[in-house]
C-alpha cells in the first residue's frame, strides 16, 4: 500500500467532505481511496490514538527471569 499525490481532479472520498482530493491511496496498482489534506491529517491523528506502540522496558528496573 502506498500514498501518492492525486493527478486527477476528484472529490475527497470521505463522507461529508467537499474538498478536492490531494492524495490517492493505492494498493496493488489500483486506486482505492482519494483523500484531501485535511482529512488525511485528521485520519492520522485518530489512528495514532488507536495504534499506540509498546514502550521499551526500563533499563534500571530488574527484569523478570525466566
What's the pLDDT tens digit per position in 48-64? Answer: 888 888 888 777 777 66
Distance separating alpha carbons of residues 25 and 4, to the nearest angstrom: 7
Short-list 41, 6, 33, CA closest to 22 = 6
Beta carbons of 60 and 50 less than 8 angstroms apart: no
Distance separating alpha carbons of residues 42 and 54, to the nearest angstrom: 23
What's the pLDDT tens digit per position in 7-42? Answer: 889 999 988 889 999 999 898 888 788 999 999 999
pLDDT of residue 5: 92
Query: Within a 10 A sphere around the Cβ of 35, how many other Cβ atoms?
Result: 22
Global pTM reads 0.66
pLDDT of residue 63: 63
Beta carbons of 12 and 36 less than 8 angstroms apart: yes
Amino acid at each position: 500500500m502506498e500514498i501518492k499525490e492525486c493527478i486527477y481532479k476528484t472529490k475527497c472520498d470521505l463522507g461529508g467532505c467537499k474538498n478536492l482530493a490531494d492524495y490517492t491511496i493505492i494498493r496493488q496498482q489500483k486506486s482505492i481511496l482519494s483523500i484531501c489534506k485535511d482529512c488525511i491529517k485528521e485520519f492520522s491523528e485518530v489512528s495514532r490514538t488507536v495504534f499506540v506502540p509498546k514502550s521499551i522496558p526500563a533499563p534500571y528496573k530488574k527484569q523478570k527471569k525466566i
